[in-house]
Amino acid sequence: MTEAVAAVDLGATSGRVMLGYVGHNELSVRPVARFPNGPVRTPDGLHWNILELFRNVTAGLGAAAREEPGLASAGVDSWAVDYALLRGGRMLGAPFHYRDGRNAGAVETTHSVVSAKELYAANGLQFLPFNTLYQLEVERAPGLLGFATSLLLIPDLINFWLTGQSFAERTNASTTGLVDITTGEWNDTLISRLDLPAGLFPPLISPGSSVGELLPSIATELGMRQSLGIIAVGSHDTASAVVAIPATTPNFAYISCGTWGLVGVELEHPVLSEASRLANFTNEGGVDGRVRYLHNVMGLWLLSESVRTWERSGETVDLVALLAQAAAVSGEVALFDANDPRFLTPGDMPERIAEWLTEHGRPVPQSNAEFVRCIIQSLASAFSDAVRTVAELSGIRVDVIHIVGGGSQNELLCQATADLSGLPVLAGPVEATAIGNVLIQARAQGFVTGSLEALRSLVASAFSPKRYDPVR
């Protein structure tokens, strides 16, 4: 018997609601709604359009229920670190976008209280200037911290609006910097040292837990004949994506590649060495208590922001044709550091790349195709370096690299990663996050059983990745 569930998958540039079908040796997904997710700039900064996002989520769930009246459940995942502050259940303002530039001073202030070395020992996270704990320091100036009664990360906020139940799912909560890396619970000592309100953080739940049932008012609005259960999944989108890696051997590294490129391995225990901290690798929560030991690389944001720059100048950009032209570029390609923080915020990306290359005495691309080739090769270089480093720091032998997500469709990137790493690359599935979301829901309800390895075997049977061997 095949069961249907709905996966709400919210990315940093777009969202989707997918129907997932699971049965004995059966797994498939298909979209019922896709929608853009663009930030909105107001005089006080860059924000997420969270109300429009929620409208699209509910409309997508309504479409899923119309197509599958017996829909068994739904689950929500999204990007990490961003949040809403609430008082008495009311949101105090639109959530800030992590690419907003408001956090610069907060890092220094935070580290004056708890050093970067102490923070790593406490939370195991790589330094990123937009981690939640730095964002919360900024909230002191307008006095919102003292006024708020709860904090909800983006997928927890969506779940709260759907069910009225307030929880924090562990995989995403782990990215706040406020969860104890050894216990998996809120770090009360750290929260106190940072002078954050103790009651701000809701109870933690794990993937597979029930969040609650859809509020009757929403069910009625969407025309649902029966209440729909909402299940906590790996609400950090990478946590769900890692569930759906079609690995058939334990010696693999993964790259969940979209706006960001998350390069890592899966571990049973965190790596908290000084070498790991200095290499800026992170230990984030995974499904079933696993550790996602990884490094954030800037990702296809570099390409998409370059395309936006060219389009703003009046050019018409055909990305498929541009990638083909980039593949045909001959000769040596200049590389830049894809992890340079100057590339984090929105703006003229080709100009910033040219600036970096000039500063380092390297030739600047002269055409859009050359810029694209430069971006792809630089990303592949950063990916390959991260794979080598994660293997050294974790002690895991890596025999193959799995690339999942939107970047798995970029043949030039996949081949370049294979060439520079010297390892075979298996690309796909594209919708790994939604698939992982579906599988966690399905296992929670008994539609499938087994360990993460068993779930991955099901993915490998249902979705055949494309293989790229290194060309030496």
**Closest listed residue to residue 74, CA positions, set 121, 4, 22, 128:** 4
**Closest listed residue to residue 79, CA positions, set 174, 156, 160, 12:** 12
CB 35 within 8 A of CB 472: no
For 295-312, letters b (16+ CB in 10 Å) and e give: bbbbbbbbbbbbbebbee
User: DSSP states of 370-399 as a string?
Assistant: HHHHHHHHHHHHHHHHHHHHHHHHH-----
275 exposure class (CB count in 10 Å sphere: 0-12, 13-18, 19+): exposed
Q: Which of 237, 318, 399, 469 is catalytic?
A: 237
Beta strand segments in 81-209, E: 83-87, 90-91, 150-153, 168-169, 204-205
Nearest-angstrom CA–CA distance, 435 and 30: 10
Active site residue 237: yes
**Closest listed residue to residue 71, CA positions, set 107, 21, 138:** 21
Tally the C-alpha atoms within 13 A of residue 267's C-alpha that lie toward its C-beta: 22
Nearest-angstrom CA–CA distance, 49 and 39: 6
Nearest-angstrom CA–CA distance, 10 and 287: 18
Active site residues: 237
